[in-house]
Amino acid sequence: MDLPLIWFLLIAVLWIGYLVLEGFDFGVGMLIPILGRNDKERRVLINTIGPVWDGNEVWLLTAGGATFAAFPEWYATLFSGFYLPLLLILVALIVRICGFEYRGKINDAKWTAWWDRAIIFGSWLPAVLWGVAFANIVRGVNLDANHNYVGGFFALLNPFALLGGVVTALLFLMHGAVFLALKVDGDLRVRANRFAGKAAIAATVAAGVWAVWAQAAFANRAWTWAIVAVAAISLLAVIFTNAKGREGLAFIFSAVAIAAAVVLIFGAIFPNVMPATNPDYSLTIRNASSTDYTLTVMTWVAVALVPIVLIYQSWTYWVFRKRLRTEHIPAPAGLSLTKQTSQAAV
């Protein structure tokens, strides 16, 4: 196995890490208006991901950085061709960060409601657009002989890609609900458990249709059917274990289902990194990779730094492992908007 192939596999692993970890915090953000009946419950939901959501985004930065360094032509084609969707994802992530940071700064119902909307928007939009982007990569895009994307924005909104967006949104809703059932207690836990069952059924149906479509039309490999089977069994196991109240097992199976989806995507495009509608213009692992020297340096850096990231993240999850209840949420500590206005008038 040579270095370009190793880095193709490592980038797949980074995307698995990102979508499994950020997938549940997207799901929690999407569920705020569904499960949070009042401000205290919405604060419980946000606090379940408060200590970990920014650490989860490290996987996205690492995946993007690794793609840039290991496969610069793939990075250039991807970011120029998918410029608008990726820009929208970036804007949504920034808006979501602002929601987390500013929501509790001022004690005012309208203030918190607007930042709740920011978190919800910043969770739903990336959840859908990541599915649209990956589905287009599996389907193949219109590249010219110089590997430039020439299809236009609306060509990305084809039925297969839009179904991919629905699938990722449903998977993240299920993943987030299972995570909440594992992390909260009381009535909120019951509601999260109930919602997770419904979301798992919907995700199983939608993901099943998309996976069979991808296999039949674009993958054409026998071994990736085994990955489809793993994903299907995992989703059915989520439904079963969640119904039995085994939230820990349900979360593991939910994570396996998302990981299997990423393996299916990378398995479907292999040995390409960016398939083209004209196969002669496809970007492959070979023609898109950096030099062996660059990949060797990257490998040593990864060997030194990845264990540190894994240890730090594991420690974070261990420290904040306890279940949360509404009784654990203190009184709001933000500034009073009314008082600030009066003082300003004086």
Residue 337 resides in a domain: no
Cβ-based burial of 339 (10 A; exposed 0-12, middle 13-18, buried ≥19): exposed
Q: What is the pLDDT of residue 109?
A: 87
What is the bridge-based pairing of β-strands 272-274 and 283-284? antiparallel
Q: Which two tokens stand for residue 106?
A: 């001022």
Residue 333 resides in a domain: no
pLDDT digits (tens, 9 = 90+) for 4-48: 999 999 999 999 999 999 999 999 999 999 998 898 999 999 999
Phi and psi at 149, nearest 5°, equal -75, 130
Q: What is the pLDDT of residue 13?
A: 94
> Who has greater pLDDT, 81 or 161?
161
Q: What is the pLDDT of residue 95?
A: 95
Cβ-based burial of 47 (10 A; exposed 0-12, middle 13-18, buried ≥19): middle
Q: What is the pLDDT of residue 338?
A: 64
pLDDT digits (tens, 9 = 90+) for 258-295: 999 999 999 999 889 999 888 888 899 988 889 999 99
Q: What is the pLDDT of residue 217?
A: 87
Residue 27 resides in a domain: yes
Residue 33 resides in a domain: yes
**pLDDT band for position 340 (cuts 50, 70, 90):** low
Whether the per-residue pLDDT at 128 is higher than 50: the answer is yes
Residue 342 resides in a domain: no
Q: Are 321 and 96 in contact (CB under 8 A)?
A: no
Residue 104 resides in a domain: yes
pLDDT digits (tens, 9 = 90+) for 163-222: 999 999 999 999 999 999 999 988 999 999 999 999 999 999 999 999 999 998 887 788
Whether the per-residue pLDDT at 344 is higher than 50: the answer is no
- Note down the domain range covering 159: 3-328
Residue 345 resides in a domain: no
Residues 6+ apart with CB under 8 A from 12: 262, 263, 266
Question: Rounded CA gap, 109 and 249, in Å?
Answer: 37
Helical (H) or strand (E) element with 286: helix 285-288
Share of the chain above pLDDT 70, in %: 97
Longest dimension (CA), the chain: 75
**pLDDT band for position 339 (cuts 50, 70, 90):** low
Q: Which two tokens stand for residue 224?
A: 């990736």
Per-position b or e across 241-254, b if 16+ CB within 10 A of its CB: bbeeebbebbbbbb
Average pLDDT score over residue span 148-175: 92
Domain count of the chain?
1
Residue 336 resides in a domain: no
Question: Rounded CA gap, 25 and 269, in Å?
Answer: 28
Q: What is the pLDDT of residue 345?
A: 43
Q: Which two tokens stand for residue 37?
A: 């009946």
**pLDDT band for position 346 (cuts 50, 70, 90):** very low
